[in-house]
Amino acid sequence: GAGVSQSPRYKVTKRGQDVALRCDPISGHVSLYWYRQALGQGPEFLTYFNYEAQQDKSGLPNDRFSAERPEGSISTLTIQRTEQRDSAMYRCASSGHLTGSEYNEQFFGPGTRLTVL
């Protein structure tokens, strides 16, 4: 596709269930970022990848959160044993190359709205 896509767009789950959120970056983009965004706030960094390597996961709130990008393209953010405080918009972004001007711009996906009941 032309842009970053995320699925599902909306996810409602019960407390204690596991959820997997998918991000499909722009084809060929090297870097992929995961953010969480509360209403009225800026995106909160969770983790990012260059190719398939997870470069920084310091923003993951706790060990219930994990992410992978096994083939350097599609990424999955998994939340185990969900809690109500996990309810938020989860956004993915990708950017192009590691050098040159193209890497400067991040393209954001539409996000997944997660609601934990």
Q: How far is the CB of 100 from another protein (least distance, A)?
A: 8
Give the one residue of 28, 42, 70, 71 binding another protein; rule: CB under 8 A. 42
Candidate segments 18-26, 34-42, 65-73, 74-82, binder of another protein by CB under 8 A? 34-42
Q: What does the block give as tokens for 100?
A: 């040159």
Q: Is 31 in the site for another protein (CB under 8 A)?
A: yes
Q: Which residues bind another protein (CB under 8 A)?
A: 30-31, 33, 35, 40-45, 48, 50, 55-56, 58-59, 91, 95, 98-99, 103-111
